[in-house]
Structure formats: structure tokens, C-alpha cells
């Protein structure tokens, strides 16, 4: 008997978190091609850009151009990341995105490096934006960054994390996420933190998880998040990604690796693995380097005729 849900929503983050740490600056057309390939594979939640200062994150300098080129369709949620009030105002001005994604670092040192504010100031900013978005009828969600460990301050405080989450939840986000920004989390920690978060916030707040595979625990952490009842998992095509403001923060979990695991577990998610692999091969050529995805290297495992998977 499985102790995880039979379905999960997947959020593709390669156009934003995936590309932001890449030295090669992709053209706007290439970014729109990447988004189109994610749509073709079946993703219906896509983080398309970040409204960061272009001097600090040059890869996101064309955020407004990307938004103007997005295919307008009623079956997808396009998200833009905002780090401060100015970023939120830029997102609103595009009139093209469905959702604002807010980042609230758990520690002061990371908050200062990432956003030029203290952690408390980030919480206050996020609460004000969430309140404004709710007034406008705009979806907005909140992600607590370095939720499992900070590259500058080390171990983090679970009580502090829960207090921040409770403050954010009071302003009505559509979901709250925990991000393992530098890939230090382990499955036991994931189970503990999401269980504590669920207990503090109650059963009605949707939860999302964002993992990096820096220390080879990303997929295991995704499985633990499923066991903890997390409704949405982030992943990035080819396993690209990282944080420009955190040392040694390598890529996200690869979308195709996650989809392969979910397929073999018979967890519904709506994404086609072969189309995803085609997209990863294309991205590998565009970036001109091997990507970290394991399934991109090995390929999927075809089921025998008439047998849909290992537990049939």
C-alpha cells in the first residue's frame, strides 16, 4: 500500500530558476521556445521569468519581452518571480502573467545577499504584496527560501520557519512553498518540516516543494514531499539551475528524472516523458554543454508489452 497521493502537479521552473545561473545569455526567442516545449510536454504551471534587477541577474533582463511573447491560452498558469515591491509593479505592468511568486529567505544573511533586506523586511514586503494581489484578484504564492539550511548561517530554525509561514498564510496566498535553495536538505528533514507546516497551517493551505540536487538528495526529497502530502513539486528541464547569490548552489532536480520516477510509481502528473526528453536534448544543444539530468543520459525504461509498470 502506498502512502502518497495518486496525483501531483508539476511546476516547470527552467525558464527562470533554471536559466538565471547560466553564463550564456539566451535570446528571448530561445526562452519562449523553452516555454513552448514545456507546454508541449504537458506542463500547465510554468515559472517564466524573474523581475530581478537586470544588473544583478542579467539573464532576466528581458523579463517584459518574454511576457509579451507568451502564448495566451486558458489552460496554463504563468508565474513571475518578484523579490521586492518594484518587481511586483513590473509584473503588474506586463498584464500577461497569471501569478506572482514571492521569495522570503529564512535567514538574514541570505536575505541581504538575495534581496538587500533583512528576513523580517522580506516578510513585511511579501505580506503587503499578498494583500494587494488579493485585492486585485491576482494569484500570488510565497516561497520560503533556504528553508532547510543556509550557505551562510548553517542550520536553520524550524520555529522561525513556522512563524514566517503563519504570517504569510494570514494574507491569503494560493500556496506556500519550502525551497531547499542550496540542496542541503534530506528526506527526514523534509518529512519533519512539512508535517510541522501542515500542523501549523491546517489542512486547507496547499503546499509546494522546490528542491536542488546539489548533494544528490533532490529526488529522494521529492519522494519524501509526496509522502508528506505536498500538492506541487518544482523541477527544471535538464536539471539546470542554481542561485547566483549562493555559493555552490547547483541545479534543480531534473524534470525528466522526476517524471520518470512518478511514471514508475503510477503517480499522475500530466507530463509526457519523451517530449520532455526531446526538450532537454534541444536545451543541451542551445547551452552547448552536457546537462546533469540522469534520464537524459540513460533514457527511460520501456515497459513490457501489456504491462504498464513495475507494480502492475
Would you say 21 and 266 are in contact if contact means Cβ atoms under 8 Å apart? no
Q: Which residues contact 278 (CB under 8 A, 6 or more apart)?
A: 37
Distance CA 23, CA 310 (A): 40
Instruction: Output the CA torsion 62→253→107→61 (10° steps).
Output: -10
Task: Spot the catalytic one: 67, 122, 127, 243.
Answer: 243
d(CA 33, CA 108) in angstroms, rounded, equals 37
- The torsion defined by the Cα of 216, 219, 222 and 224, in degrees rounded to 10, comes to -80
| 67 tagged catalytic | no
Report the C-alpha gap between 144 and 118 in whole angstroms.
Answer: 13
Place of cell 515559472: 47
Q: Cα(299)–Cα(95) distance, rounded to whole angstroms?
A: 39
Active-site residue numbers?
Answer: 243
Amino acid at each position: 500500500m502506498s502512502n502518497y497521493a495518486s496525483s501531483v502537479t508539476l511546476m516547470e521552473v527552467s525558464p527562470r530558476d533554471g536559466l538565471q545561473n547560466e553564463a550564456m545569455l539566451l535570446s528571448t526567442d530561445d526562452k519562449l521556445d523553452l516555454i513552448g516545449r514545456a507546454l508541449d510536454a504537458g506542463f500547465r504551471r510554468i515559472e517564466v521569468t524573474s523581475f530581478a534587477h537586470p544588473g544583478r541577474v542579467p539573464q532576466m533582463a528581458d523579463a517584459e519581452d518574454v511576457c509579451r511573447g507568451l502564448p495566451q491560452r486558458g489552460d496554463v498558469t504563468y508565474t513571475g518571480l518578484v523579490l521586492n515591491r518594484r518587481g511586483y509593479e513590473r509584473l503588474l505592468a506586463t498584464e500577461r502573467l497569471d501569478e506572482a511568486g514571492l521569495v522570503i529567505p529564512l535567514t538574514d544573511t541570505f536575505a541581504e545577499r538575495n534581496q538587500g533586506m533583512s528576513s523580517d523586511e522580506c516578510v513585511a514586503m511579501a505580506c503587503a504584496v499578498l494583500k494587494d494581489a488579493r485585492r486585485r484578484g491576482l494569484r500570488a504564492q510565497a516561497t520560503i527560501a533556504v528553508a532547510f539550511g543556509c550557505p551562510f548561517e548553517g542550520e536553520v530554525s524550524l520555529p522561525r520557519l513556522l512563524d514566517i509561514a503563519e504570517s504569510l498564510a494570514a494574507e491569503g496566498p494560493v500556496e506556500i512553498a519550502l525551497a531547499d535553495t542550496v540542496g542541503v536538505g534530506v528526506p527526514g528533514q523534509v518529512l519533519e518540516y512539512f508535517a510541522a507546516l501542515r500542523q501549523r497551517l491546517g489542512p486547507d493551505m496547499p503546499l509546494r516543494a522546490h528542491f536542488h540536487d546539489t548533494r544528490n538528495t533532490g529526488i529522494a526529497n521529492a519522494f519524501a514531499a509526496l509522502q508528506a502530502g505536498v500538492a506541487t513539486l518544482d523541477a527544471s528541464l535538464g536539471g539546470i539551475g542554481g542561485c547566483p547569490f549562493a555559493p555552490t548552489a547547483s541545479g534543480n532536480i531534473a524534470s525528466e528524472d522526476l517524471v520518470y520516477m512518478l511514471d514508475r510509481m503510477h503517480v499522475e502528473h500530466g507530463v509526457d516523458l519523451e517530449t520532455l526528453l526531446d526538450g532537454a536534448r534541444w536545451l543541451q544543444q542551445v547551452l552547448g554543454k552536457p546537462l546533469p539530468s540522469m534520464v537524459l543520459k540513460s533514457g527511460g525504461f520501456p515497459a513490457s508489452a501489456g504491462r504498464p509498470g513495475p507494480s502492475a
